[in-house]
A and B are shown apart, each in its own frame.
Chain A
């Protein structure tokens, strides 16, 4: 401790914190998406599955802002309605990973020894499958459906969450305030949920935002190969997949969901970067 090190200087509570640009941008991108996700079916100019065979493969125009697909369905409306799908898929899958992974990680990190060994070896087995393979495997066992894809993706990312939670828990276990709690004779549950958990949330929140992105992309990939959302639903991955044969005549069918996905992913990434900057000032970049 020598020179004034202002970067690490304790930030005062009274001093207003400037929101990082990435956070502001991320929220700006995601807020409309959330609105769309909730109100998509009402905002859409057409029902997402209404076919209009007379105007199939129409280019974008006043009637159909992003054109129509091979059934004459309005691409824009389908993309809007698909927002819910994608976001729910991302968030729900992440929620599953967290619900399963965080307690396991806590227990492994806190219990150490045998418990830790068993949990982590199980995770090793899960992690020995590449994510998409695991997803495919889970979906191959049962007829594909969207909710199954969500569960599959959730399971795929459990090991990562467990590892992260465990790593932070192990790190926190070295912290003296945990020692202080043990010294007071606090119960294991209290230490886990009142001392450790609040300190796990910030990095976990950052991680979760990344997980949501991965989940959305993996979900789209599964739908793309026909193992996720099923037609005629308007999942973005499925839409892009269905657009493939027509992509030369009617690139807009793929473009619109592609753009929507880009905005979503960039938005969540920015949000994650922003959260990282706010919650975890030590970290400098993302991976």
Chain B
């Protein structure tokens, strides 16, 4: 790494960057955006600069509140009324968009600069057919009549991999799956042959197997159309997969930018280091403590007067807290906003102490704590005197059996609609199973809970995904935590207060938080409160239902560490429900892979990650975006599934509709047999084990570990 020169200082007077700008398709220079809010001006972007060359895909990376979407919206001139650009330039093909009239900017939008938004479902107008919505830019910018646009719309739909373009064009958004909807948005964006795509978290709302397909599609399109793109994302794995260069935002500022390979493999800025380190990886030892970034993003009001990351930076010094930092670039085109960058080069993000962590011990083979047998749940069954209203309902969970030992963490992995949450809630008798039994410590949980057995309730708890919704907004943290104690028979108020304080401390929160209301806490803090509340009853078993999914990477690492600590110290058992295979591989002892309400594969995590795979597991694992690259070796071939469709129901394998290795009618007609490999590793598939075992490992790097 060579000497860094301040980039922004040299920007305008020096003609060299200007010529660089000429070659850039989009150049954002010193962009500053503020939001007016009832409590003063908030910074959303300060002094943000980056450039995208033709054909380049740049990732704009950051956690919530970093300002990445604001920048994207500013380029599209869609900031809304509260947001205001207070400085800087947005040059598109050398023209400052801010100097154009609103009308001129509008005529660029959808034509030369097209966009794809995060949530395809809400981005499509529910009242119009998708064909009409795709045609709109064509009619607007290219002078097509709606009739002329029709064949072009079908062409576009075909190009984004939609099989029946004519039928789909006449559909309404709600009739399409999430993946299809996103394809429709992409088709819309491609319509006018844009130069630049603004992709705002285009896959965040999608399941991982669908995400993989969309990313593949986007990568292909950028390649074939020689498109430039600004890819806004919080997911480093995806950015790594698709972006040539990356720009990391933190607290409204660009902290590091450069070629993706460089930045993600050898991060220079402390924040980037922390972010990369905090990412749970399939390959890391599950007993290994995740690195995490302490603290939360500070409030961004007024102009920056110090390094924004300083309060959370383990390398921070007095200087960091006094002076704002400037972005400095090197010869390779990478730049970083940290004056200590050179000094820290090669210094890794500090490891969390693992001293207290006992070695992984296999759970004792005693009577299981939880025993689920032939669980079945049918939703939406309706009886009615009106014959046409009678409905059979949909099977959410079909014949699921498993056990959980004391002190064991059982992961449940699946995509949306797999029935994983239903399993979790049936276990706690929040949902009454249609059939099957749940034994908790030998007792029939559903029956006991119905009869109001509070002790059983006490011993099994739940941590929710939505940290905000799981706390009553009208109750203080203390009040929320007090109820379980009251119910548990803790009469003394002082005693309860003490216990609450202890619990809060236990989950790493100040005891004074007891007096706060949920909305005064950050997401991570609320999740800690949720955990503390679950712990208040001194449970033995906790269901974690996507407990870390809504959190930013750095916070997620914190919570995962906390959960792991609690397991080790209190001997808790978890049912850990998640869609994120990396998270589950980090924390779980055993894993259930569920699809369409049935278990496809079950086994110790180390087994499930290695062949033989159930075809679904294989696809799921291969779809996981990773920070591979130099560190992890070459990326293996991906297995891409069809867009998700509703499980076909009836007899046969639930996965048969999307299975790339479907054998034939046998899969349609007969439920797959459960084949046992080794060590309680079971796979439900018609394909013989031996044949399944022939497949290469999705994670060749794992082979080296064991």
**Contact indicator A184/B469 (Cβ below 8 Å):** no
Contact partners of B453 in chain A: CB under 8 A = 185
**Contact indicator B464/A199 (Cβ below 8 Å):** no
**Contact indicator B487/A4 (Cβ below 8 Å):** no
**Contact indicator A184/B470 (Cβ below 8 Å):** no
A4-44 CB contacts (< 8 Å) to partner B:
4, 6-7, 9-13, 15, 18
A11, chain B: closest CB distance, angstroms:
7
Q: Is A141's CB within 8 Å of the partner chain B?
A: no
Q: A180-B462, A183-B462 are in contact. Are A4 and B252 (CB under 8 A)?
A: yes
Q: A18-B38, A184-B484, A185-B454 are in contact. Are A179 and B430 (CB under 8 A)?
A: yes
B523, chain A: closest CB distance, angstroms:
8
**Contact indicator B64/A12 (Cβ below 8 Å):** no
Q: A2-B69, A3-B69, A4-B252 are in contact. Are A180 and B457 (CB under 8 A)?
A: no
Contact partners of B341 in chain A: CB under 8 A = none
Q: Is B533's CB within 8 Å of the partner chain A?
A: yes
Q: Is B655's CB within 8 Å of the partner chain A?
A: no
Which of A3, A7, A198 is the most central at the interface, judged by chain B CB atoms within 10 Å of its CB? Answer: A3
A200, chain B: closest CB distance, angstroms:
10
Bound form: Cα–Cα A181–B487 in Å: 11
Contact partners of A183 in chain B: CB under 8 A = 428, 430, 457, 461-462
Chain A, 190-222, contact with B by CB distance < 8 Å: what is the 0/1 string?
A: 000001001100000000000000000000000
**Contact indicator B472/A6 (Cβ below 8 Å):** no
Contact partners of B35 in chain A: CB under 8 A = 4, 6
Q: A4-B42, A10-B519 are in contact. Are A179 and B470 (CB under 8 A)?
A: yes
**Contact indicator B37/A186 (Cβ below 8 Å):** no
**Contact indicator B471/A177 (Cβ below 8 Å):** yes
Q: Which of B37, B465, B475, B487 contacts A184 (CB 8 A)?
A: B487
Bound form: Cα–Cα A2–B71 in Å: 10
Chain B, 31-48, contact with A by CB distance < 8 Å: what is the 0/1 string?
A: 000011111001110000
A126, chain B: closest CB distance, angstroms:
22
**Contact indicator B483/A2 (Cβ below 8 Å):** no
Contact partners of B516 in chain A: CB under 8 A = 13
Residue of B nearest to A176 (CB): B470
Contact partners of A18 in chain B: CB under 8 A = 38
A270, chain B: closest CB distance, angstroms:
20
Contact partners of A186 in chain B: CB under 8 A = 483, 487
**Contact indicator A4/B473 (Cβ below 8 Å):** no
B691, chain A: closest CB distance, angstroms:
43
Bound form: Cα–Cα A2–B473 in Å: 23
**Contact indicator A199/B474 (Cβ below 8 Å):** yes
B66, chain A: closest CB distance, angstroms:
8
Which of A9, A176, A182, A186 is the most central at the interface, judged by chain B CB atoms within 10 Å of its CB? Answer: A176
**Contact indicator A184/B537 (Cβ below 8 Å):** yes
Q: A4-B65, A4-B70, A10-B520 are in contact. Are A176 and B487 (CB under 8 A)?
A: no
**Contact indicator B520/A13 (Cβ below 8 Å):** yes
Residue of B nearest to A16 (CB): B39
A177, chain B: closest CB distance, angstroms:
4
**Contact indicator B464/A179 (Cβ below 8 Å):** yes
**Contact indicator A11/B519 (Cβ below 8 Å):** yes
Bound form: Cα–Cα A175–B232 in Å: 30
Bound form: Cα–Cα A244–B571 in Å: 82
Q: Is B604's CB within 8 Å of the partner chain A?
A: no
Contact partners of B473 in chain A: CB under 8 A = 199
Q: Is A1's CB within 8 Å of the partner chain B?
A: yes
Bound form: Cα–Cα A182–B201 in Å: 36
Contact partners of A175 in chain B: CB under 8 A = 469-470
Contact partners of B475 in chain A: CB under 8 A = 198
Residue of B nearest to A182 (CB): B430
A282, chain B: closest CB distance, angstroms:
12
B468, chain A: closest CB distance, angstroms:
9
A79, chain B: closest CB distance, angstroms:
40
**Contact indicator A198/B472 (Cβ below 8 Å):** yes
Bound form: Cα–Cα A13–B454 in Å: 35
Q: Is B402's CB within 8 Å of the partner chain A?
A: no
Bound form: Cα–Cα A37–B370 in Å: 65
Residue of B nearest to A18 (CB): B38
**Contact indicator B39/A15 (Cβ below 8 Å):** yes
A203, chain B: closest CB distance, angstroms:
13
Contact partners of A198 in chain B: CB under 8 A = 472, 474-475
Q: A4-B67, A177-B470, A179-B470 are in contact. Are A184 and B118 (CB under 8 A)?
A: no
Chain B, 219-250, contact with A by CB distance < 8 Å: what is the 0/1 string?
A: 00000000000001010000000000000000
Q: A176-B466, A182-B430, A185-B457 are in contact. Are A2 and B472 (CB under 8 A)?
A: no
Q: A12-B520, A195-B472 are in contact. Are A2 and B487 (CB under 8 A)?
A: no
Contact partners of A11 in chain B: CB under 8 A = 38-39, 519
Bound form: Cα–Cα A3–B252 in Å: 9
Bound form: Cα–Cα A259–B453 in Å: 62
Residue of B nearest to A10 (CB): B519
**Contact indicator B82/A3 (Cβ below 8 Å):** no
Residue of A nearest to B43 (CB): A4
Bound form: Cα–Cα A184–B457 in Å: 6
Q: Is B68's CB within 8 Å of the partner chain A?
A: yes
Q: Is B200's CB within 8 Å of the partner chain A?
A: yes
Contact partners of A182 in chain B: CB under 8 A = 430
A19, chain B: closest CB distance, angstroms:
12
Bound form: Cα–Cα A180–B457 in Å: 11
Bound form: Cα–Cα A27–B430 in Å: 45
**Contact indicator A180/B533 (Cβ below 8 Å):** yes
Residue of A nearest to B483 (CB): A184
Q: A3-B73, A4-B42, A18-B38 are in contact. Are A185 and B449 (CB under 8 A)?
A: yes
Which of A4, A179, A181 is the most central at the interface, judged by chain B CB atoms within 10 Å of its CB? Answer: A4
B206, chain A: closest CB distance, angstroms:
16
A284, chain B: closest CB distance, angstroms:
13
Q: Which of B39, B464, B517 contacts A176 (CB 8 A)?
A: B464
Q: Which of B70, B425, B466 contacts A3 (CB 8 A)?
A: B70
**Contact indicator B483/A13 (Cβ below 8 Å):** no
**Contact indicator A176/B67 (Cβ below 8 Å):** no
**Contact indicator A6/B42 (Cβ below 8 Å):** yes
Bound form: Cα–Cα A7–B520 in Å: 15
**Contact indicator B464/A1 (Cβ below 8 Å):** no
A250-285 CB contacts (< 8 Å) to partner B:
none
**Contact indicator B73/A4 (Cβ below 8 Å):** no
Bound form: Cα–Cα A264–B472 in Å: 35
Bound form: Cα–Cα A3–B75 in Å: 14
Bound form: Cα–Cα A8–B36 in Å: 12
Q: A176-B470, A195-B472 are in contact. Are A2 and B68 (CB under 8 A)?
A: yes
Q: A13-B517, A179-B430, A199-B472 are in contact. Are A2 and B200 (CB under 8 A)?
A: yes
B473-520 CB contacts (< 8 Å) to partner A:
473-475, 480, 483-484, 487, 516-517, 519-520
Residue of A nearest to B428 (CB): A183
**Contact indicator A3/B68 (Cβ below 8 Å):** yes
Residue of A nearest to B474 (CB): A198
Q: Is B300's CB within 8 Å of the partner chain A?
A: yes
**Contact indicator A7/B470 (Cβ below 8 Å):** no
Chain B, 573-594, contact with A by CB distance < 8 Å: what is the 0/1 string?
A: 0000000000000000000000
Residue of A nearest to B467 (CB): A176
Contact partners of B537 in chain A: CB under 8 A = 184
Contact partners of A13 in chain B: CB under 8 A = 516-517, 520
Chain B, 156-188, contact with A by CB distance < 8 Å: what is the 0/1 string?
A: 000000000000000000000000000000000
Q: 28 pairs across A/B with beta carbons < 8 Å?
A: A2-B64, A2-B69, A3-B65, A4-B42, A4-B43, A4-B67, A6-B35, A6-B37, A6-B42, A7-B37, A7-B82, A11-B38, A13-B516, A18-B38, A175-B469, A176-B465, A176-B469, A176-B470, A177-B470, A177-B471, A177-B480, A180-B533, A183-B461, A183-B462, A185-B453, A185-B457, A198-B475, A199-B472
Q: Which 7 A-B pairs have the closest CB atoms?
A: A2-B69, A176-B470, A6-B37, A3-B69, A185-B457, A1-B64, A3-B70
Residues of A within 8 A of B (CB): 1-4, 6-7, 9-13, 15, 18, 175-177, 179-186, 195, 198-199
Extra inter-chain contacts (8) besides given A176-B470, A186-B483, CB under 8 Å: A2-B66, A3-B44, A4-B252, A13-B520, A176-B469, A184-B537, A198-B472, A198-B475
